[in-house]
Chains A and B, each alone.
Chain A
Amino acid sequence: MTALLRVRNLSTSFATESGLARAVDDVSFDLEQGETLGLVGESGCGKTVTALSILRLIAEPPGQYGEESRIEYEGVNLLELSARDLREIRGAQIAMIFQEPMSSLNPVLTVGSQIVEAIRAHGSESRREATERAVELLTLVGIPEPGRQINDYPHQMSGGMQQRVMIAMALSCRPKILIADEPTTALDVTIQAQILDLLMDLKVRFGMSVLFITHDLGVLAGIADRVAVMYGGKIVEEGEVHAIFERPAHPYTQGLLRAVPHIDRPTAQLRGIPGAVPTATEWPSGCRFHPRCSQRIDRCSTETPPDITTETEHIARCWVATPAGKS
């Protein structure tokens, strides 16, 4: 089976006052039909830039894609498409929702008119047909009184309701891929649970693939089929969700899992990872995690680590990870 989306050797850099920031550096992954891939990492690891790069939403300049970079969707490299052809895919085939719905919605237009605009941008519906479809979409995402709330302005809605509107808008053209960038981070935990349930339900009903970007390992554990862990602009570990959570092979993934407070395991001592996350203008040499790694060996500071396939058939990019058959 071929992947719906293939990202190959993606590098995205920015010219900044303090030098070239290589925010995403040689990242490759596949998104399969119908799966949820979780991209997880801490601030500055490159997860959002990866998401934005897929839809070419990075302004050039200051941003710049590496020459080797390829984003293949249905066999076409999105990085080589004309602006007009790209618009046919953006929103219609691949849609995106963000952390702050309020900053993505236009404050002076009603939510209804914004959804109608999204529908008509890619289709041939009349205004009336599009309005009917907008009400259907609002019903689908659980807006309590869609017929009335279609006339509301974004500020009249709570954060949870705004995010539902964003989801309705993203679904308006029945996309095959939904990219969700921290869609529940700004929400309260009970509302977060509602939105996650909604997204997973819609994913199945629409047969979508989801690229879910988050810093929250707890959220990921509940929804992802596969997980890619990012650190320092690179994917450091990637595999099936159970393998990553139960047999993490990269010291960074291991450290993250020990640092997360568990509501079910109060007796486990929390262990932070010493130091702070690095910045994209000054990535450490060799393995970018080596200055904070408790298991580092000499070559970690000078040589880029290889892909190690572990016992649980996932990939860890680390000099000390144990390959399958050698434990």
Chain B
Amino acid sequence: MLGGNTRGKVLGSMSSPKTLLRVESLVKHFPVGGLFGPGDHVRAVDGVSLSLLRGQTLALVGESGSGKTTLGRCIVRLIEPTSGRVSFDGVDILALRGTDMRALRRRMQIVFQDPAGSLNPRMTVGTAVREPLEVHRIARGKDAHARVNKLFREVGLDPSLTTRYPHELSGGQKQRVGIARALSIQPEFIVLDEPVSALDVSVQAQVINLLVDLQKARDLTYLFIAHDLAVVRHIADRIAVMYLGKIVETADVIPLYDRPLHPYTVSLLSAVPVPDPRAQRKRVPLRGEVPSSRHPPPGCPFHTRCPHTRKDERCSTEVPKLQEVEPGRWAACHYAETPMTLGRGA
């Protein structure tokens, strides 16, 4: 039903729980400036390692500038990483060239936040879904037509809409087209980059439910990139929290929301508005703003805003490693073993 229970989902599928995607020490630095002097770098992704089991949903959460979108794009090689390794089903994808990479691309897809911006305004939405089938030589002619109609029905769209142009559809319908297009070549893995952020709440829930249903029906693996922690709780099995290009905490969804270990996760969760006037929680306010990723602070990148009472010298000098604090729970904080508590007010 909901994406909360990893074990049930993995055992329920045909394949054994195994790693589909493994990212090791991934780095992406963008050069900036340098026109009149020595250049500088934005450290968008700064040494990220993660793995994702087949059939699971890993949510990558963080605020703007945390590097989550860049990481997602590096993983499907829409952007070339500066260094690191990405292996997909055991294959080192950064080493692949030409036809090999193209063959692998069929197995991974991406869905973007802005459904209007990712569809060609002069192409009917039916053609948009049909195009990948022809590019990858999966189907053509009548066969392709039949497949497109089937895909439309699968994502909850009437096949009569195939002849429409993007501007004739609502935001929710366009995002369904984006999903149908991604599904057309039967990928195993989909990067969903803020797929519901641009949608109205009544429509957002429809699309979240659709993604959950499709995952079950097709045994899909998702990397779900989002800033909305309430949305993520409804779809993810596992969460990785990013701050300034690094993962600061990763855990299964239930323990992470119930008892976050990293002070950034504690503050982030406490800042999420709750749609219930009686359940207003005590916030753990964060002072200041996210520092620039051109000049991240020394030591722990979060120490300039950290509300943890145990913060000390060490935090501003020594970079905390992402380490396993409890089985399956990793945090990059010197004091992760004595976490802050999430206060709950009246």
Contact = CB atoms under 8 A, between A and B. Distances in A.
Contacts of B52: none
Nearest to B66: A188
Nearest to B267: A190
Nearest to A258: B205
Contact of B63 (A189, A217, A257, A263): A189
Given A190-B286, A193-B271, A222-B277, A259 B257 contact: no
A263 B203 contact: no
B332 interface: no
A245 interface: yes
Interface in B257-300: 257, 267-280, 283, 285-286, 288-290
B233 A263 contact: yes
A304 interface: no
Interface string A250-278: 00000111111111101101111110110
B273 A219 contact: yes
Given A241-B277, A266-B4, A261 B234 contact: yes
A264 B208 contact: no
A125 interface: no
A166 B208 CA distance: 35
Contact of A242 (B233, B275, B278, B285): B278
A28 interface: no
A190 B271 contact: yes
Interface residues of B, number: 49
A218 B273 contact: yes
Most buried by B among A242, A255, A270: A270
B272 A263 contact: yes
Given A189-B229, A190-B286, A266-B2, A271 B277 contact: no
Contacts of B290: 188
A259 B4 contact: no
A107 to B, nearest CB: 20
Interface in B216-241: 227-231, 233-234
B285 A266 contact: no
A297 B276 CA distance: 30
Contacts of A246: 277-278
Contacts of A193: 270-271, 283, 285-286
Contact of A190 (B63, B205, B274): B63
Interface in A271-317: 271-274, 276-277
A260 B272 CA distance: 13
B209 A272 contact: yes
Contact size class for A? 35 or more
B276 A245 contact: yes
Interface in A159-177: 160-161
B143 interface: no
B2 A245 contact: no
B272 A189 contact: yes
A263 B230 contact: yes
Interface in B146-186: 170-173
Contacts of B271: 189-190, 192-193
B62 to A, nearest CB: 9
B135 interface: no
Interface residue SS majority, chain B: helix
B201 interface: yes
A145 to B, nearest CB: 12
A193 to B, nearest CB: 4
A247 to B, nearest CB: 12
A272 B289 contact: no
A222 B172 CA distance: 28
A158 interface: yes
Contacts of B275: 217-218, 220-221, 245, 257, 260, 262
A122 B229 CA distance: 43
Contact of A261 (B172, B206, B230, B286): B230
B289 A189 contact: no
B127 interface: no
Interface string A11-53: 0000000000000000000000000000000110000000000
Contacts of B207: 272
A194 interface: yes
Contacts of A219: 273
A216 B230 CA distance: 12
A17 B133 CA distance: 38
A259 B277 CA distance: 17
B202 interface: yes
A264 B201 contact: no
Most buried by A among B205, B207, B229, B280: B205
B271 to A, nearest CB: 4
B1 interface: yes
A252 to B, nearest CB: 8
Contact of B201 (A192, A197, A215): A215
A272 B279 CA distance: 23
B49 interface: no
Contacts of B278: 242, 246
B200 A42 contact: yes
Given A188-B63, A190-B63, A269-B2, A262 B202 contact: no
Contacts of A269: 1-2
Nearest to A227: B277
A273 B173 CA distance: 14
B227 A242 contact: no
A191 interface: yes
B234 A266 contact: yes
B64 interface: yes
Interface of A: 42-43, 144, 158, 160-161, 188-194, 197, 215-222, 224, 241-242, 245-246, 255-264, 266-267, 269-274, 276-277
18 contacts: A188-B290, A189-B63, A193-B285, A217-B275, A222-B274, A222-B277, A256-B202, A257-B275, A260-B201, A260-B205, A261-B208, A263-B233, A266-B253, A267-B2, A269-B2, A272-B204, A272-B205, A273-B203
Given A160-B289, A270-B209, 8 more contacts: A193-B283, A242-B277, A257-B275, A261-B230, A261-B231, A262-B274, A266-B254, A276-B203
